[in-house]
Structure 1
Amino acid sequence: MADRLTQLQEAADELANQFIACFYYLERRHDLEPFGPNDKIPDLKPEQPKEVDSLPPDVFQAGMVELARDLILKEQQIEYLISNLPGLDNSEREQEQLIRDLEEELKVAEAQRLEAVKEKQEVLAKLNQVLRGIRRH
Structure 2
Amino acid sequence: MADRLTQLQDAVDQLANQFVASLYYINKHHDLQTLSATDTVRQEKKIEGDQDPGEKEVDPYPADVFRAGQKELAQDLIIKEQQIEAFISMLPGLDNSEKDQQDTIRQLEEELMAAEQKRKEAVKEKEAVLARLESVIRSVKRP
- TM-score (structure 2 length as normaliser): 0.72
Paired residues, number: 135
Alpha-carbon deviation of 1:43?
5.5
* Partner of residue 55 from structure 1, selected from 48, 51, 61: 61
Alpha-carbon deviation of 1:109?
1.6
> Aligned to 2:100, what secondary structure does the other structure show?
helix
> Aligned to 1:51, what secondary structure does the other structure show?
coil
Do residues 78 (structure 1) and 98 (structure 2) align? no
CA distance 1:64–1:136, change in 2 (3 Å): closer
CA distance 1:124–1:23, change in 2 (3 Å): same
Report the RMSD for the aligned CA atoms in angstroms: 3.1
- TM-score (structure 1 length as normaliser): 0.75
Aligned to 2:124: 118
Query: Which is richer in helix?
Result: 1
Q: 1:1-137 residue pairs with structure 2 within 5 A?
A: 1-35=1-35, 38-42=38-42, 50-85=56-91, 87-88=92-93, 89-135=95-141
CA distance 1:57–1:96, change in 2 (3 Å): same
1:18 partner amino acid: Q
CA contact (8 A) 1:30 1:54 kept: yes
**Structure 2 residues without counterparts, runs of 5 or longer:** 46-52
CA distance 1:105–1:48, change in 2 (3 Å): closer
CA distance 1:27–1:115, change in 2 (3 Å): same
Q: Point out the more displaced range, 34-43 or 70-79.
A: 34-43
CA contact (8 A) 1:28 1:53 kept: yes
CA contact (8 A) 1:44 1:50 kept: no
Alpha-carbon deviation of 1:81?
2.3
**Structure 1 residues without counterparts, runs of 5 or longer:** none
2:72 partner amino acid: E
Tell me which of the two structures has the higher relative contact order, counting C-alpha pairs closer than 8 angstroms and 6 or more residues apart.
2
Cα distance between partner residues in 1 of 2:41 and 2:83: 41
